[in-house]
Structure 1
Amino acid sequence: MSGFLADPETRKILRAAVPVTIGLASLAYLAVKLTSKPSNGFTADESIPTVRLREGESVHDIEYRENPERFLEYCEKTYGPIFNIHLMNQKLTVVGHPYIKEVFTNSNFSSTDAIDEVTGLRKYSASIVKSNCEIDNSTMHELLRDVLTPKLQLFTERIAGHLDLTLGYTFGGGFETKVVDDPLGLVFHIIAGTMAKVFMGMEIAQDPKVTESFIFCTRDFGQMLQAGVPDRSFWHMFSVNTKYGYLDGALNPLHKHVQALVTASTPVILERRRREAECKEKGIPYERPLDIMQILLDESDKYGFVDLEDMCGHIMLTVLASVHTTVDACTNMLYFFAAYPQHAETLYNEQQDVLDEQAREREKERAKLVAKAYEQGAAVPEFDGTDLDPKKDREVTTSAIRKMVYFDSYLREVFRYRSARLNLAHKARKTVVFSNGQYISKGSKVIINMRSAHYNPEQGEDVNEFKPFKYVGQTAKSPAKAATDMIFFGMGAHICPGRFLAINEMKILGTLFLQRYSRVEFKDREAGMRRLTQIVGEPLDQALILTSRHHASTEEATSVSTETSSTSTTTATTTTNSSTTISVTLESSSTMVIV
């Protein structure tokens, strides 16, 4: 696995394949700039203005990429909330606040149609499943909404346990200061492994090929998107090939990953069926394994799955649509820890307060049970190995996660600040008329002006600044709630159903990460801050320096002890020397470089 992460070409593909917002729409439109086949024309509504091109330029790409904020702000002030632009070799109508909601809630606008036009994604997806191949198939959406989200609380302990274990062997035990050259690749490994446990179950996910498939499926899809570089005719050929069914199951690169899941699952499922039959024969209840695979097996008739291969195909498509986006969101979170360390420490203090409270509550519960046992003359209860085991007092639980309201506000601000300024394209299946009377004619495409939603006055003062705790105490501003001022996860009937899992994983990973590391820094702060604040909507690739919380405490204690015994220095001197010690440690042999 380390070889895969270390390969520069692989990291390049991962960065290109991982979008910033949830869903495949970003993935397709991140690469659509490569196409040589122009889109349909602008809407026939001549009242919608087209942004004037700069002298000597035939598209708006250069002007937009130079400074997205400046370009869109100028367009909004000059042309209003709806205007036409030539971008990514497409003729797009930009729709901004307050008309964004009308795009998401109108069934005549289709994001999948917009994606399929440039990638042939429907044929690509349908070639690895045997059921639910309708043009507007919602099976993946239903799987997450009906199966995973309601049971998310049950999965929290598993997610926390796996993330904690994986952090240990991926980033280290947390007792050393280290440099991480490829945070994106490492987080990818962590999240993919966790998702494998949730979707496939502990037994099946033990097969290393399962976790590898969860990782490599996105890489393989990214390679397909990158296959057109520098051949700009790729998209035309790809569209033709998929149109005539060239990519059947045998040729689709996802097919081998589906087969890996089938191979790993078959003996485990057969054993589960055997145990279930045995329990039924003995008249005892069968304890059903907690994983998505088992739930889908039990509900296969409901979803119309043909066989195990079909089921694994749907799981693979769900993974493709969710893992890479969660990875990018988690990586962004780490970069914001580095950019604004004072805020990261606030999050750490909150988690400690929450876990302290949890420990006190559990101690009170144990005391009540002991007192009750004395009153009844019963034996004092043993708590080891039970839900009230003192060793579990400070574990990250669902209840603890929910109480971390500062973290909720922090993530919402990360989503707002790092969203691509133009994203989530939709194609009109019929002519759609907006409430202001302007219309988008059938076959034309719109793209959402995320900036107008995430940077409008509804966000409060100083919208261009990162202020992560301004939503604390505002339940209507939770990171999972979609509104006209937060569309990171989409809106309406097709809002991302996996957003609760993504946020849960981010909070757990962030909590465990901050328990290990007292400081996260950019290896090159100037470059890191520039990319974080100016190059939005694209994955980052900056190295990070992690200072162990335990190591820093030990160094500081040693520094204080040495100075106390040798000389009467001031507190200010102690602090300075402690920082120097850490700085020297970063340059010493104890620094680990992970690739």
Structure 2
Amino acid sequence: MNNILNTLAVGFCILAIFYIVNKLRNRKLVNEPPLVYYKYPIIGHTWDYCADVDKFLLKCKQEYGEIFSIYVYGSVITVVGKELCYEVFNSRDVSFSAAFEEKVPVARILGLPLDYMSFAAEISKNVFTAQMHLFLEKTQQSLYSGVNEIIGECDEPKIIHDLRQVLFSIVSRPVTTILVGDSLCHDNDLINIFMNFSNELYKLLKVPESLGLIHPWIFQQSLIMRFRFGRCKIKKLQEIVIEKIKPEIEERLRQERKFGNNWKPPVDCIQYLLSQPGVDKENPDYVWISGYLLAITFASMSTTVSSTTNFLLDFASRPEYWDDLLEEQEKFNPNDKLTDLDQISKMEKLDSFLKEALRLTGNVCNLIHRVTGSELKFSNGYQLPRGSNVGIYLKNVHYDDERYGPDPNKFDGYRYLGKESPTSKVSRDFLHFGMGRHACPGRIFAINEIKMLSSILIKKYKITTKSKKRPSNFIISGVSFPNPEPLIFEKRVKA
């Protein structure tokens, strides 16, 4: 039996190798970008890319120019830098969601359409962003109670070892309110499910794509199996979500039938889903509703948590900014009660500091897009065929000395003051949230939430890194992840 299994495994690997070689041989168009030379079949550039992606891509750019292709983890990725990246972001022939699904197969895990991200973006735009003024007070109250409960008063210095998990616990509460409404927002089962599911998806970004060397499909299936049979069993999670939201939905539909146009529906994601054309209100698809609620948690929590973590690491290690930022918070948020978005927009020093922290996160190559049109044509004449992956050389943009001066690696917390360049504004020199057609639709809500949470933390605590320095982030496959160095929280004593 073992011999048969071994033979099948070897045979499968050989077929996979022939598939990859044939795929590479047949992908050529008339004028594709140059493929960087490599010695070893199958491995390609994977070793160099993983060992030091920054050094590797810099060398490739020096030798091949603004655009080139590399072969990593069994797939070809075309890398574009500062001169051509905006053509990717503005193209109708590429899709971020199609490429993201290969790395984090949310649609396959939840049984959603493969293009689920376009509808999720619509939900984010029409609920989280358009209705943000309605959620302002609830969000601040939820953040404040979360900070008090989870971090506490810190009369004695408190060392927080897992900052990311603490921030997930705090952020999950206001997000749950927007997802399911006031009646369910305090349900601890729902809060924990949304938090843990988002956290598990976030962890997938760190998973090495080693199985992709055999075939990308095998890597995808390994991730899907993790959610079907692992610790975070998606079927069980969805069953619990459905059990929680079903009575609420039934009551809403009953109220709608009873009062008709006189009924004032709540504003949240559940209601937005119910209001979609084609939804059968006599027999709601609870699997579809719960699937989208879970899918939205990743975008609405993970970006906020990772961005806030980077902000706090920079803030805690730069005491020269503490007094200034504290003074600004006391000026515009004196009573810990933000009544309108204008108050948040006036926190210009906080916004500039946050934007600089995000610029210098250390992302090297990210925001992979898939060519979904017949081909992608660049202004310099190069072409990419349908199915190609193209990544953005972010370090070439965010560390560009032509745009950021002779020392672009230097942190300047007030770099953007007086320049009408808020963190929410996407531009050719700041791509943390994408750009053009592919800009993150929920970034405005996320940034305001980060600033609200940061304002609370700055006013309430003295925060320092254990080493008294800014720890460097980790780079995995070109993507930066905040260093897990502990932070020390100490109750701020008012003068």
TM tier, smaller: 0.7 to 0.9
Q: In 1, distance between residues paired with 2:94 and 2:475?
A: 32
The AA in structure 1 aligned to 2:34 is: P
Partner of 2:346: 403
Per-residue deviation, 1:322: 2.9
Distance 2:175 2:416 in 1: 29
> CA 1:403–1:49 in 2, change beyond 3 Å: closer, same or farther?
same
- Classify the secondary structure of the residue corresponding to 2:480: coil
Select the residue among 118, 141, 158 that pairs with 2:138.
Answer: 158
**Higher mean C-alpha displacement, 62-71 vs 536-545:** 62-71
Match of 1:327 in 2: 305
TM-score scaled by structure 1?
0.69
CA displacement, residues 275-307 of structure 1 (integer Å, 9 cap, x when unaligned): 6677x49x9x6554343323443x233778853
Task: State the SS of the aligned residue for 2:131.
Answer: helix
Partner residue, 1:289: 266
Query: Structure 1 residues 266 and 88, CA, compared in 2 at 3 Å: closer, same or farther?
Result: same
1:430-509 mapped onto 2 (5 Å cutoff): 430-456=374-400, 457-475=402-420, 477-509=421-453
- Asked if structure 1 preserves the Cα contact closer than 8 Å seen for 2:96 and 2:368, the reply is yes
* Post-superposition CA distance 1:4-47 (Å, at most 9, x none): xxxxxxxxxxxxxxxxxxxxxxxxxxxxxxx9996953754667
The 1-side partners of 2:204 and 2:475 are apart by 30
Counterpart secondary structure, 2:193: helix
Q: Distance in 2 between matches of 1:515 and 1:248?
A: 40
Distance 1:348 1:65, change over 3 A: farther
Cα distance in 2 for partners of 1:119, 1:234 equals 16
Q: Which runs of 5+ in 2 are unaligned?
A: 1-15
The number of aligned residues is 468
Output the aligned Cα RMSD.
3.8
Q: Which amino acid letter does the alignment assign opposite residue 174 of structure 2?
A: T
Partner Cα separation in structure 2 for residue 548 and residue 533 of structure 1:
33
Q: Distance in 1 between matches of 2:158 and 2:209?
A: 35
8 Å Cα contact 1:168-1:174 kept in structure 2 = no
Quickly say closer, same or farther: Cα 1:120–1:209, change in 2 above 3 A: closer
Q: 1:404 to 1:221 in 2, by over 3 A?
A: closer
Q: What CA distance in whole angstroms lies between the structure 2 residues aligned with 1:395 and 1:249?
A: 43
Alpha-carbon distance in 2 for matches of 1:173, 1:402 = 28
CA contact (8 A) 2:360 2:398 kept: yes
Q: Is the 8 A contact 1:43 1:444 kept in 2?
A: no
Contact 1:421-1:536 within 8 A present in 2 as well: yes
Q: Provide the secondary structure at the position in 2 that maps to 1:547.
A: strand
- Report the CA distance between 1:517 and its aligned residue: 0.9
Counterpart in 2 of 1:79? 64
The amino acid of 2:375's aligned partner reads T
Matched, 1:340 2:340: no
Change beyond 3 A, Cα 1:238–1:436 = closer
Q: Which residue is 2:148 aligned to?
A: 168
Query: Which residue of structure 2 lines up, in the alignment, with residue 515 of structure 1?
Result: 459
CA distance in 2, matches of 1:148, 1:495: 15
Which residue of 103, 107, 110 corresponds with 2:88? Answer: 103
User: Structure 1 residues 272, 441: CA separation in 2 closer, same or farther (over 3 Å shift)?
Assistant: closer
| Counterpart residue type for residue 480 of structure 1 | S
Residue 123 of structure 1 and its aligned partner are, at CA, apart by 3.2
In the alignment, which of 178, 186, 197 is matched to residue 206 of structure 1? 186
Asked whether the 8 Å contact 2:211–2:218 carries over to 1, the reply is: no
CA distance in 2, matches of 1:254, 1:458: 45
Structure-2 separation of matches of 1:524 and 1:86:
38
Match of 2:481 among 538, 543, 553: 538
Question: For structure 1, which runs of at least 5 residues remain unmatched after alignment?
Answer: 1-34, 357-392, 558-595
8 Å contact kept, 1:418–1:536: no
